[in-house]
């Protein structure tokens, strides 16, 4: 690691990728800054926003640190929430998702180990055009490239179960996505 890799990382560092109306992913530290050991991605979530459908990583573990708001988690069969200063471990090969459990914006830092998955967000960012449903077919192909399984059919179930906002993805057609009135 070079000396330039040390020191504070400010709010103006890193590429921000926006998914739909509210959620963002900003890579604060990527593989180059950590010799591939881990990456740090900041997510901002709007009120009652689901971060992703149920999904499972095969190559990396994730550690979520809540910095603002209250975040709900579904990890395997377990459901719980965490607030500012709390850390949640999401191990590889475990189905999970998370959402903003409150009525105000929320923020988390995701520590991903080993690094590399942070590039996924840059790859799928263009698949979420403004004011149009995302390209879920291509997103599914990119997910395979990163060893990620996504259950798009979980969207309506999660939204109903946890009282979440309906994402734009549900207005389009996608792999395994079923509309529910």
Query: Tens digit of pLDDT for each residue in 16-39?
Result: 777 766 678 899 999 999 999 999
Nearest to 152 by CA among 180, 125, 178: 178
The neighbour count for residue 127, using CB atoms within 10 Å, is 15
Domains and CATH numbers, the chain: 14-171 (2.60.120.10)
pLDDT at position 114 is: 98
> Terminus-to-terminus CA distance in the chain, angstroms?
52
pLDDT at position 75 is: 97
pLDDT at position 128 is: 84
Structure tokens at 109: 């830092």
pLDDT at position 18 is: 75
pLDDT at position 93 is: 98
All residue ranges of the chain with pLDDT < 70 are 1-14, 20-22, 167-181
Beta-ladder partners of 23 = 19
The C-alpha atoms of residue 97 and residue 74 are separated, in whole angstroms, by 5
Structure tokens at 158: 């999660």
Nearest to 9 by CA among 39, 45, 36, 35: 39
């Amino acid at each position: 690691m070079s000396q330039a890799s040390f020191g504070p990382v400010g709010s103006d560092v890193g590429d921000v990728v926006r998914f739909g109306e509210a959620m963002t992913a900003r890579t604060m530290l990527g593989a180059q800054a950590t010799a591939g050991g881990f990456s740090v991605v900041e997510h901002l979530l709007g009120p009652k926003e689901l971060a992703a459908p149920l999904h499972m990583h095969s190559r990396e573990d994730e550690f979520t640190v809540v910095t603002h708001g209250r975040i709900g988690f579904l990890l395997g069969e377990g459901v719980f929430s965490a607030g500012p200063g709390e850390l949640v471990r999401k191990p590889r090969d475990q189905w999970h998702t998370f959402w903003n459990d409150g009525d105000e914006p929320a923020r988390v830092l995701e520590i991903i180990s080993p690094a590399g998955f942070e590039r996924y967000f840059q790859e799928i960012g263009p698949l979420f055009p403004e004011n149009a449903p995302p390209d879920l077919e291509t997103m599914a192909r990119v997910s395979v490239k990163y060893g990620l399984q996504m259950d798009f059919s979980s969207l309506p179930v999660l939204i109903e179960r946890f009282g979440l906002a309906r994402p734009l993805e549900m207005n389009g057609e996608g792999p395994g996505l079923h509309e529910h009135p």
